[in-house]
Amino acid sequence: MPKRRPDHQPERSCAVCRSVHPKRSMTRIVRRTDGSLALDPTGRAAGRGTYLCDAADCHDARRLAEGVRRALGTDAGLDLLIGELAHASA
């Protein structure tokens, strides 16, 4: 199996604005096996994940809810997630 290039940086698209950024600079949101949503600071939590960039427009509650619902198919616990994001960015 070939080794990765040392200069390779994985990129992901934002669930809200759909712009592409380096994976390490984005916040991962994960839908756990029980259907709840949570922030994943390690990037390794089990479950279906999506990413959120650091733009202020992407942290707007209405736009965030639409993006997460589209990407993960659920909005269970979205209010708690929005609160955690506001606390983490403050």
Residue 84 lies in a domain: yes
Average pLDDT over residues 25-42: 94
Q: What residues make up the domain containing 61?
A: 11-89
Q: Is the pLDDT of residue 77 over 90?
A: no
pLDDT for position 6: 84
- Residue 17 belongs to a domain: yes
Is the pLDDT at 75 greater than 70, yes or no?
yes
Q: How confident is the model at residue 1 (pLDDT cuts 50, 70, 90)?
A: low
In the predicted model, is pLDDT for residue 12 greater than 90?
yes
3-state SS, the chain, equals CCCCCCCCCCEEEECCCCCEEEHHHCEEEEECCCCCEEEECCCCCCCEEEEECCCHHHHCHHHHHHHHHHHHCCCCCHHHHHHHHHHHHC
Q: How confident is the model at residue 90 (pLDDT cuts 50, 70, 90)?
A: low
Q: What is the CATH number of the domain that holds 69?
A: 3.30.1230.10
The total number of structural domains that make up the chain = 1
What does the pLDDT average to over 38-66?
A: 94
**Domain contains 4:** no
Residue 41 lies in a domain: yes
